[in-house]
């Protein structure tokens, strides 16, 4: 009996769990040309279904990957639609870039859910 309950608990903890959904393939970039040292602005849209604390890790990607410090927080359940600005380091080389955000949620002791979402490309100039 105890073994059966343990097996059911394990099965429940490993079931699929949808935390986020994105209405668009990519986040829309508001500032398509950015000067190094300036800020890029993009429109972040998603729907959150579960009240889990998550970690958002952002990367600026071209031929190289520049990683920003991760942010830990708990966005509200529901629809998020807001403009986000991100500083572009002044030492970044000119070129075409995009921002990748990796969202990680620890659902329970056995399950972590990860989502990856990118922005459209934008140009960095000197």
Q: What is the pLDDT of residues 56-68, one digit of tens each?
A: 999 999 999 999 9
The answer to whether 78 and 118 have CB atoms below 8 angstroms apart is: no
Q: What is the pLDDT of residues 71-91, one digit of tens each?
A: 999 888 999 999 999 999 999
The structural domains of the chain, with segments of one domain joined by +, span: 16-125
Tell me how far apart the alpha carbons of residues 120 and 122 are, in angstroms, rounded to a whole number: 7
CA distance 124 to 90: 10
Q: Give the integer Cα–Cα distance in Å for 121 and 126.
A: 17
Domain 16-125 class? mainly beta
pLDDT interval class at 46 (50, 70, 90): very high
More confident residue, 27 or 107: 27
- In this prediction the pTM is 0.87
pLDDT top residue among 3 and 32:
32
pLDDT at residue 7 greater than cutoff 80: no
Give how far Cα 125 sits from Cα of 37, 86, 94, Å. Answer: 10, 15, 5
């Amino acid at each position: 009996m105890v073994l059966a309950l343990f097996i059911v608990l394990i099965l429940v903890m490993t079931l699929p769990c949808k935390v986020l959904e994105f209405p668009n393939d990519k986040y829309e970039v508001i500032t398509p040309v950015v000067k190094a040292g300036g800020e890029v602005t993009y429109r972040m849209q998603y729907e959150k279904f579960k009240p889990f604390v998550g970690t958002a890790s952002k990367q600026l990607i071209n031929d190289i990957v520049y990683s920003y410090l991760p942010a830990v927080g708990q966005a509200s359940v529901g629809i998020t639609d807001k403009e986000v600005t991100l500083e572009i380091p002044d030492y970044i080389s000119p070129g075409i870039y995009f921002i990748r955000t990796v969202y990680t949620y620890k659902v329970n002791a056995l399950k972590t859910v990860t989502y990856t979402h990118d922005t459209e490309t934008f140009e960095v100039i000197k």
